[in-house]
């Protein structure tokens, strides 16, 4: 960590700051230049509060050389983490596809979709029971009943379940859910992160719509700092000025996260683009970029439904995407 002092800093102010750093257990290298003084801090700077130090009157700027996260950091954990979700492995060369409907709607729907995606190549089933919606008047999910229907689909197919949690007080309902998902809007809901960090459930953490990769990693660190090491990261599109797609899928997040962390990285092309016909090219691109898995929205489109969802695939379309992704992955070896 480098701290550059302002020109006007007095020797007394400087010494006070150096002493304070030393009290935090750091070694301080002082380099006095003609125009500025640079303090190089050596030791465990994780506990140092960037904002606090940066806000000091005498500090021109601070710059971290080492990252403020530890447990998620690849530097201290060079090998890929492999996460075992009830027998399904992800990370370290293990590729997994999570598929299913945006919302659980009925027993028939979820069982039919579950069987369909399993046949098409998915290894985990997703389904929303608690839905975060911008409007209080929009459908908020089937809640506890939706969880029960997911459990029936798991009993039927044996697939591990992925479902979003929005409230730590609901954790008891998620006992049979194998992976709890933290949605993009809750990425910095630190209280929820701490709560799932106290469990041993696998957490699928989605990147917020306007968050940096570093912020995503700091949120994963919140979970791991509580003792839970089973974290999967998910890029699901960020907010940009483009309006043709719902969000903009940031595929460079895949190689970037692979450098920064040992955690598995999953791509959600359905939410990122919001357009069913763009799921196939983006799923293939994600695989080519080195992702550890995909999360794809699939709906069974029964006659009762008005029409296809804009971003959902049918099980048949899903099977074709999964096959193309498989071919891309073979070409990469």
Residues 65 to 104: which contact its own copies by CB under 8 A?
Answer: 65-66, 68-69
Contact segment (CB under 8 A) with its own copies among 9-17, 107-115, 171-179, 314-322 equals 9-17
- Span 208-227, contacts to its own copies by CB under 8 A: 209-215, 218, 221-222, 225
Q: Does 199 bind its own copies (CB under 8 A)?
A: no
Which of the residues 284 through 323 are near its own copies (CB under 8 A)? 284-290, 306-311
Among 15, 22, 92, 190, binds its own copies (CB under 8 A): 190
Q: Are 60 and 36 in contact (CB under 8 A)?
A: yes
Q: Does the footprint of its own copies cover residue 243 (CB under 8 A)?
A: yes
Nearest to 121 by CA among 329, 331, 323, 330: 323
The stretch among 88-96, 155-163, 245-253, 315-323 that binds its own copies (CB under 8 A) is 245-253
Cα-based distances in Å from 87 to 114, 144, 159, 199, 265: 17, 25, 9, 19, 18
Cα 281 to chain centroid distance, Å, stands at 21
Assess 282 for contact with its own copies (CB under 8 A). Answer: yes
Structure tokens at 42: 């050596």
Task: Annotate each residue in 132-171 with x if it binds its own copies (CB under 8 A) or - if it does not, as one string.
Answer: xxxxxxxx--------------------------xxxx--
Q: What is the dihedral of CA 176, 178, 180, 181, to 10 degrees?
A: -130
Task: Kindly tell me which of 18 and 88 has the beta carbon lying closer to its own copies.
Answer: 18
Residue 198 binds its own copies (CB under 8 A):
no
Q: Which of 10, 15, 24, 54 binds its own copies (CB under 8 A)?
A: 54
Q: Does 40 bind its own copies (CB under 8 A)?
A: yes
Q: Report the residue count for the chain.
A: 333
- How big is the site for its own copies, counted in residues (CB under 8 A)? 108
**Least distance in angstroms from the C-beta of 256 to its own copies:** 5
- Binders of its own copies among 249-268, rule CB under 8 A? 249-256, 259-260
Alpha-carbon torsion 161, 88, 258, 120, what sign? negative
Task: State the nearest-atom distance from the C-beta of 99 to its own copies, in Å.
Answer: 18
Sheet harboring 27-32: ordered strands across? 27-32, 37-42, 2-5, 59-63
Q: How far apart are alpha carbons 5 and 14 in whole angstroms?
A: 8
Could you say which of 10, 15, 16, 76 contacts its own copies (CB under 8 A)? 16
Residue whose CB is less far from its own copies, 108 or 310: 310
CA angle (96, 99, 102) in 5-degree steps:
145
Residue 182 and residue 192 in contact, taking contact as beta carbons nearer than 8 Å: yes
Distance CA 24, CA 32 (A): 22
* Shorter beta-carbon distance to its own copies: residue 106 or 211: 211
Would you count residue 4 as binding its own copies (CB under 8 A)?
yes
Q: 88 vs 129, which CB is nearer to its own copies?
A: 129
Phi, psi dihedrals of residue 92, rounded to the nearest 5°: 60, 40
């Amino acid at each position: 960590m480098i701290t550059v002092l302002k020109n006007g800093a007095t020797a007394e102010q400087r010494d006070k700051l150096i002493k304070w750093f030393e009290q935090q257990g750091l070694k301080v290298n002082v380099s006095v230049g003609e125009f500025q003084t640079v303090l190089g801090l050596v030791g465990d700077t994780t506990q140092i509060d960037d904002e606090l130090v940066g806000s000091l009157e005498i500090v021109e700027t601070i710059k971290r050389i080492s990252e403020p996260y530890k447990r998620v950091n690849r530097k201290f954990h060079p090998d890929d983490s492999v996460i075992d979700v009830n027998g399904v492995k992800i990370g370290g060369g293990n590729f997994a596809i999570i598929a299913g409907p945006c919302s659980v709607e009925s027993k028939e729907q979820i069982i039919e979709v579950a069987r369909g995606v399993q046949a098409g190549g998915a290894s985990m089933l997703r389904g929303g029971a608690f839905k975060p919606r911008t409007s209080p008047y929009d459908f908020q999910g089937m809640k506890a009943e939706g969880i029960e229907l997911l459990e029936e689909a798991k009993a039927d197919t044996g697939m591990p379940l992925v479902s979003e949690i929005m409230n730590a007080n609901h954790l008891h309902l998620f006992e049979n859910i194998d992976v709890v998902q933290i949605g993009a809007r809750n990425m910095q809901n630190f209280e929820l992160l701490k709560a799932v960090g106290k469990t041993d459930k696998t957490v699928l953490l989605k990147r917020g719509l306007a968050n940096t990769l570093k912020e995503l990693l700091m949120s994963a660190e919140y979970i791991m700092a509580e003792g839970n090491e089973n974290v999967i990261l998910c890029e699901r599109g960020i907010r940009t000025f483009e309006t043709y797609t719902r969000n903009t899928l940031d595929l460079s997040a895949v190689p970037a996260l692979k450098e920064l962390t040992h955690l598995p990285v999953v791509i959600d092309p359905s939410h990122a683009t919001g357009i069913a016909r763009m799921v196939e090219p983006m799923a293939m691109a994600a695989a080519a970029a080195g992702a550890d898995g995909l999360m794809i929205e699939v709906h069974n489109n029964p006659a009762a439904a008005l029409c296809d969802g804009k971003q959902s695939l049918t099980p048949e379309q899903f099977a074709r995407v999964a096959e193309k992704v498989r071919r891309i992955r073979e070409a990469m070896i």
